[in-house]
Amino acid sequence: MGEAATTPAYAESFAEAADDFGVLGPQLWEPVSTATIVRTRPMPGERVLDACCGDGASALPTAELVGPEGHVDAVDAARAMIDRLVTRAGGDLPQLHPHVGDVLEWDEDGYDLVQCVLGVFFFDDPRAGARHLVELARPGGRVGLTVWAPGAIDALAEVLFEALLPHRPELADLDPDDASPVMRSAATPGALAVWMTGLGLVQVRADAVPRTLELTPELAWGFARGTGMRALFGDLGEETVEEVRTAYLAALAEREIERVDVGTLVGVGRRPE
């Protein structure tokens, strides 16, 4: 039943980041997921695929909304994330079915709703990966995709990049756009709607969800180690990572960066009947 056998390259970073990822849950992942499911509207009795589910920020409330007659397959490539999801669910949601694997190899289809919150960017080919997700929805089913808005977490990424350069000089050859989590082809609500229409969806609506988050040192470091930015660290040892942490937090304080942009874009469309 749809099990994905392989693990994509990005999964290792998120497996290592599970604890730091969790630090951001109440302030970041859960509000972003709430903004998504308000628009994807999981309904009682529906079958849902939650792709790149992390530790369940969108899968858990979705399972509550579909109720005991519904079914939610929550798929993530990082076992540590799925372990956290299972712990958070606490055995109280039998309609929630967690799976470890690459969602791009998931072959069960016919879902009333397929949703992916901040996951499409990590696919090697975001368009091909998103098209695969579309194909898993039933005719008439809904597909919801959430991506970062332009400017999201840019200030933190810039400061982290500078803190890492003395220890990883090879980063100087990295194109900043390649390290950005923003999908340049879907960087506005209109562009996201056009992009999703190009995947074969109809009746697409995309909204901007602006939001900023007040930073604490713990949250700022959580962004560095609990998001895709973690990949910038490479294989630095613990002592060096601590040096980076000190430099990073000091630079944030010096530049008086006290809030971070965490705006998103949410698009929802239907697969044609």
pLDDT in tens, the chain (273 residues): 344 444 454 455 555 566 778 789 999 999 999 999 999 999 999 999 999 999 999 999 999 999 999 999 999 999 999 999 999 999 889 999 999 999 999 999 999 999 999 999 889 999 999 999 999 999 999 999 999 999 899 999 999 999 999 999 999 988 766 666 778 788 899 999 999 999 999 999 999 999 999 999 999 999 999 888 898 999 999 999 999 999 999 999 999 999 999 999 999 999 999
* Phi, psi at 202, each rounded to 5°: -125, 165
Which run of H or E residues covers position 81? helix 79-89
Report the candidate in 46, 54, 47, 45 with the shortest Cα–Cα distance to residue 75: 54
Contact (Cβ atoms closer than 8 angstroms) between residue 47 and residue 70: yes
Other Cβ atoms closer than 10 A to 207: 15
Q: Classify residue 153 by burial, with Cβ atoms within 10 Å: 0-12, 13-18, 19+.
A: buried
Q: Which residue is listed with tokens 């979705």?
A: 62
Taking the C-alpha atoms of residue 122 and residue 236, their distance in angstroms, rounded to an integer, is: 22
